[in-house]
């Protein structure tokens, strides 16, 4: 059975639906006056002002609040083997609908992303950051076990699945790539602030090691409130990344510094694997909650 035949059996995928846009009263979880897309038994927010094209959605039959993401037909066909992969920690795909506008993938409802959360909090204490960082590390460890490089890892990719904002999931696998036995990749895809030195210097690089560098950037940013490498222009930013030099403020504990340095290591072969990170003593000895200041922000 082909992948598209499998999709059709699971989701009635090949039954192309006509999309209509209408105004709905605010009886659902939508802002007043929001134009909505009506597709089969779903209502989806028509405007896209959310992270990564994730839109609020509503299942009229079940009354369930969801998230939906629209893909172009070609993009979905190329990436569907990963978009629908069963990877721990990734938002579960609940339904797939093909429309005249593209392919809508429905997942569990989300409650904002980690980037927005950090901008609100300025920076996190180590006791606040540790459980969130553990969840992210577990997702990466599981993906690497399945020989999947997540590639474009950044704060915006991780979304909260509960209103209390304690549980994280990876929003999607749009940028992920299956690795061969060598584990090497050749593309240069990635957010500049999270890119590793070897992506800038080499024709090929380890997909896992590149993910680990980005993981180090995330931990640093959670605890400091700024990126370890930042500049107003990509050229200057890349120059800083190439040096591998960064400074950790004094309020960051010794154990946290140790963990950051094991990830933001210039030599990719020396970066600690994701599974080993979970055994780092920092998780058991997180520092007392630090005072939150208001003079540091995560750049947009």
Q: What residues act catalytically?
A: 151
Q: Where are the beta strands (DSSP E) in the chain?
A: 20-23, 35-39, 42-45, 54-59, 64-71, 93-98, 103-108, 148-149, 158-160, 168-170, 177-178, 184-185, 205-206
Q: In angstroms, what CA-CA distances link 88 with 78, 146, 169, 247?
A: 22, 10, 9, 33
> Rounded to an integer, what distance in angstroms lies between the CA atom of residue 219 and that of residue 215?
6
Task: Name 39's Cβ contacts closer than 8 Å, sequence gap at least 6.
Answer: 17, 19, 97, 99, 104
- CA 6 remoteness from chain centre: 27
> Rounded to an integer, what distance in angstroms lies between the CA atom of residue 173 and that of residue 150?
7
> Rounded to an integer, what distance in angstroms lies between the CA atom of residue 218 and that of residue 225?
10
Report helix, strand or coil for 52. Answer: helix
CB distance 36 to 22 below 8 Å: yes
């Amino acid at each position: 059975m082909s992948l598209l035949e499998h999709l059709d059996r699971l989701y009635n995928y090949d039954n192309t639906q006509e999309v209509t846009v209408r105004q709905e009263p605010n009886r659902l979880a939508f802002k007043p006056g929001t134009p909505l897309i009506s597709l089969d038994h779903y209502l989806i927010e028509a405007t896209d002002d959310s992270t990564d094209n994730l839109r609020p959605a509503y299942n009229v039959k079940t009354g369930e609040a969801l998230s939906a993401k629209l893909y172009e037909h070609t993009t979905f066909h190329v990436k569907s083997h990963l978009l629908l992969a069963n990877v721990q920690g990734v938002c579960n795909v609940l339904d797939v609908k093909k429309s005249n506008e593209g392919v809508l993938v429905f997942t569990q409802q989300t409650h904002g992303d980690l980037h927005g959360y950090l901008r609100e909090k300025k920076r996190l204490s180590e006791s606040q950051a540790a459980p969130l960082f553990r969840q992210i590390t577990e997702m990466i460890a599981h993906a690497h076990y399945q020989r999947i490089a997540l590639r474009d890892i950044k704060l915006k990719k991780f979304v909260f699945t509960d209103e209390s904002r304690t549980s994280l999931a990876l929003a999607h696998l749009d940028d992920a790539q299956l690795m061969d036995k060598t584990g090497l990749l050749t593309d240069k895809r990635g957010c500049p602030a999270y890119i590793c030195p070897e992506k800038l210097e080499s024709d090929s690089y380890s997909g896992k090691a590149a993910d680990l560098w980005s993981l180090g950037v995330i931990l640093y940013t959670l605890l400091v409130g700024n990126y370890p490498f930042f500049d107003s222009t990509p050229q200057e930013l890349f120059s800083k990344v190439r040096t591998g030099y960064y400074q950790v403020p004094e309020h960051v504990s010794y154990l946290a510094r140790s963990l950051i340095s094991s990830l933001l290591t210039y030599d990719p072969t020396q970066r600690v694997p994701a599974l080993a990170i979970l055994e780092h003593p920092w998780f058991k000895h997180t520092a007392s909650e630090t005072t939150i200041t208001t003079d540091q922000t995560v750049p947009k």
